[in-house]
Amino acid sequence: MKVHNFSAGPSILPDFTVEKTAEAIKNFAGTGLSVMEVSHRSKEFVAVMDEAIALFKELLNIPEGYSVLFVGGGASTQFCMIPYNLMGKKAAYLNTGAWANKAQKEANLFGEVVEVASSKETVYNYIPKGYEIPADADYFHITTNNTIYGTEIKEDMDVNVPLVADMSSDIFSRPVDVSKYALIYGGAQKNLAPAGVTFVIVKDEILGKVDRQIPTMLDYRTHIKGESMFNTPPVVPVFAALQTLKWIKEQGGVAAMQKMNEEKAAVLYNEIDRNPMFKGTVVNEEDRSLMNICFVMADEYKELEKEFFAFATERGMSGIKGHRSVGGFRASTYNALPKASVQALVDCMKEFEALHVK
């Protein structure tokens, strides 16, 4: 039986990435050594890092004046690195989910934080709009895709202060106008690589403007100067990230990814809307995520939730259980998930409907 991987993260990777990484774990670049045991200073791995950064810039069409970094610590470390490096006195945050809320909480350690809007009171089931951003804020922070709640900001904002975005779960899922952002960051374990590496895209000119001293490892300039090699980088995840970047390019780039993701999401959302046994959790259609599709049983079928989960699991649907704060189900449809897997889930939902709806 084929297993369909809908896990929210760590999550599905392209077969190409898995196969090439497995090969390199046995014999990296003809060295006779595993990529797990070679020096990160070796010419073979330096070439991997250089190519990964170059391809990152190419696929996202990153303008001059930006640096791409691969660092450790997860996106959660960025929650403090960003205010450490960028906040003089005040920052603005849009609270659209658990991770946005955690980022905002960390920023409170460094200065005044203005929450411009929040959807927390309704369990983050929509993206707030119509808010004002303080003109004197040092930056405005958003989380573009909210994996737990299934909401997504799909357009690049025009704002009057430096824009910072956590794109952990939707990077490379659509074209991005990087010039509109001061900094973009994210954990790689959704759409890029295994857990263990974090990417940062930072506009060089925004750095070095705060008065505070910054610990060496938390200063973006350290990693820019060290070309992501100030300390030992997460070697295997960086190698895997390069393979995924190659795969994305081979598929036609991020525009092709966007087309595929829109098609996959439409198949599942259409079934959720059609099937009387299920309902989506996001209130506004324009806020629905293309990466994490959240749904629950309709009220009259609520008692069948555990039965459907077991039914779907028996048919190879893996990782579809919803986060505890939302309940129900979550199908993560990242770049590497084939459309056939989405169709398999839809067929499963239809089969369950046929058993229970007369």
> Is 247 in the active site?
no
Give me the catalytic one of 138, 166, 219, 287.
166
Which DSSP string do the residues of 36-89 spell out, in sequence order? TTS-TTSHHHHHHHHHHHHHHHHHHTPPTTEEEEEESSHHHHHHHHHHHHH-SS
Calpha distance 204→67 (Å, rounded):
7
Give me the catalytic one of 20, 99, 203, 246.
99
Q: Which parts are annotated binding residues for pyridoxal 5'-phosphate?
A: 75-76, 99, 147, 166, 189, 231-232
First to last CA, the chain: 29
Query: Strand, helix or coil at 332?
Result: strand
**Partners of 329 in the beta sheet?**
295, 321
Give me the catalytic one of 190, 246, 264, 321.
190
- Which spans in 96-194 are helix H? 98-107
Two tokens, residue 198:
């974090």
The answer to whether 86 and 139 are in contact (CB under 8 A) is yes
Q: Which parts are annotated binding residues?
A: 41, 75-76, 99, 147, 166, 189, 231-232
**Partners of 288 in the beta sheet?**
151
Q: Which parts are annotated binding residues for L-glutamate?
A: 41
> Which residues are tagged catalytic?
99, 166, 190
